[in-house]
């Protein structure tokens, strides 16, 4: 249907040019609305705000999604998608395609704390932090014994249950 409309518009433009008729195409959006939209898109790209969509599973399985070389990024008890600049990606794809990094997720948590969009718990174990949201938790381990994973799991504090599961697997 779009193709047919474009063909008709093209034919009308050719006819108008042949007969010297000037055509004025009215745009529903005002220039200021377009400028605001472009400005908002630019700000969104600069901020690279990340929205996390966590879908809970019935199990408490730990799934390694990505290894940064410094730490592993895992999901715990669910599946994760991210929305970046209006586009939705599976977490694994977004990381592998370098759309986001583990540090971007951590930075988003820090910004959300500053903006009162989430709560956090800081542990005196080497620097572990949990960012607690309504539907999920971001856990960045930094334990003296070497555990330093980045984990996205179900809501509420997940540190103890996550450590219990990974140590029982070993």
Mean pLDDT of the chain: 80
In angstroms, rounded to a whole number, what is the distance separating the alpha carbons of residues 169 and 149?
Answer: 15
Is pLDDT at 17 greater than 60 in this prediction? no
Share of the chain above pLDDT 70, in %: 71
CB 45 within 8 A of CB 52: no
Query: Is the whole-model pTM more than 0.75?
Result: no
For position 37, what pLDDT does the model report? 38
Kindly tell me if the per-residue pLDDT of 33 is higher than 60. no
Nearest to 105 by CA among 135, 130, 134, 86: 130
Identify the bridge partners of residue 84 per DSSP, sorted by sequence position: 50, 87
Contact call for residues 77 and 59 (beta carbons, < 8 A): yes
pLDDT of residue 168: 84
Q: Look at 27-31, 102-106, 160-164 and tell me which has the smallest mean pLDDT.
A: 27-31
How do residues 86-101 score in pLDDT, each as one tens digit? Answer: 999 999 999 999 999 9
Place of tokens 């518009």: 9
Residue 68 token pair: 């940064």
Among the residue ranges 27-36, 150-159, 161-170, the one predicted with the least confidence is 27-36
Q: Are strands 72-76 and 150-154 parallel, antiparallel or unpaired?
A: parallel
């Amino acid at each position: 249907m779009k193709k047919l409309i474009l063909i008709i518009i093209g034919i009308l433009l050719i006819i108008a040019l042949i007969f010297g008729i000037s055509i004025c195409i009215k745009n529903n959006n005002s220039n200021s609305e377009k400028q605001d939209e472009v400005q908002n898109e630019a700000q969104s790209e600069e901020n690279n705000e990340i929205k996390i969509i966590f879908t809970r599973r019935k199990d408490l399985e730990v799934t390694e999604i990505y290894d940064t070389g410094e730490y592993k990024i895992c999901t715990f008890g669910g599946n994760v998608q991210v929305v970046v600049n209006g586009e939705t990606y599976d977490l694994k794809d977004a990381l592998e395609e370098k759309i986001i990094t583990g540090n971007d997720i951590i930075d988003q948590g820090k910004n959300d704390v500053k903006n009162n969009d989430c709560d956090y718990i800081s542990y005196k174990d080497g620097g572990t932090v949990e960012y607690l949201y309504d539907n999920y938790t971001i856990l960045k381990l930094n334990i003296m014994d070497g555990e330093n994973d980045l984990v996205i799991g179900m809501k509420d504090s997940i540190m103890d249950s996550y450590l219990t599961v990974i140590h029982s697997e070993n």
